[in-house]
Amino acid sequence: MSQELRAVEWTGNGLALIDQTLLPHRTQIVDVRDVDTLVDAVRRLVVRGAPAIGAAGAYGVAIAVLQGAREGWSEAEVRAAVARVREARPTAVNLMVCVDRVMTRFAEGLDAVLAEAAAVQREDVEANRAMGAAGADWLLKRVGEDRPLRVLTHCNTGALATAGWGTALGVIRELHARGRLEAVYVDETRPLLQGSRLTAWELVQEGIAHYVQADGAAAGTILRGQVDAVVVGADRIAANGDTANKVGTVGVALACADAGVPFLVAAPTTTVDLSTATGADIHIELRGEEEVLEWAGVRTAPTGSRGHNPAFDVTPGRLVTGLVTERGVLEVSAGELPGDRMR
């Protein structure tokens, strides 16, 4: 099912987005035909995952063009609306890269904009397929086990987070297709539970054996020898290999380093930002306090407590065993850096 799943789909006059805030209990489509609705969808995580946000942003240029035609906007107003889409979430570089790419066709009109956005979406699926195969090859060679592998992942990196197939979850799906996957440990991914709500939902569709675990259990699971490899995605990768991903990732990487377990980051080249030298230069989005102070609208922390809610953390490149893109695998911790190989 998830092979055919599209979190972002152009309908001819707007975007159809699967509302990921409602999964796994309800599947609902958000019809996006104006910039306000798209910006709200990106900020509320109706659509999430760096590649999926990038695809939505690419089509967002068309949304702005169509809305401008309906409402009589000037070119400057259309460009300002596109800038709002581009800035809807600051950490995921794919959004900015994909909007900028489509804007190179802006002067050619709506058909050219839509053709470029469709190319963004198509190329992401192709890239995901390629990195799935490359990542599976690398893991099987690196781990060197004849038995099926036990893999841990954090957050959601599947079809819901991309234009289709998935990044880190694409590697896992490839292992499953080859009969080389025993089970997946799925971190629940606090505070919004993208692991338990979304990744587990995708794995159920595929019939892949898995265990949902608390984020705090991940390090112990790794150190007790219950995990052969970890595969995660990324929202931005600096030139030195430092990787921003969903908050909680760096603790998983530290446990892998201590246990000698491979830590693999799977992301398309659009996630690599060579203009960002190190992770210290990556802007980390701070989300609303209520996400950590409340649960389902009910206050769980004392009145007077403040919330600290970074959406991402940065894993130093020295902890990244391998970075897999559609071009192959870089062994970052061994000195193969994106800034050296991808310019």
- Please report the DSSP string for 100-144 in residue order: HHHHTTGGG-HHHHHHHHHHHHHHHHHHHHHHHHHHHHHHHHHH-
Residue 305 is given by DSSP the state -
pLDDT at 79: 98
pTM attached to this predicted model: 0.89
pLDDT at 343: 64
pLDDT at 2: 46
Which residue numbers in the chain have pLDDT < 50? Answer: 1-3
Residue 14 burial (10 A CB sphere; 0-12, 13-18, 19+): buried
CB count within 10 Å of CB 71 equals 10
φ, ψ dihedrals at 342, nearest 5°: -120, 10
Unique residue bearing structure tokens 């054996």: 209
Q: Write out the catalytic residue numbers.
A: 235
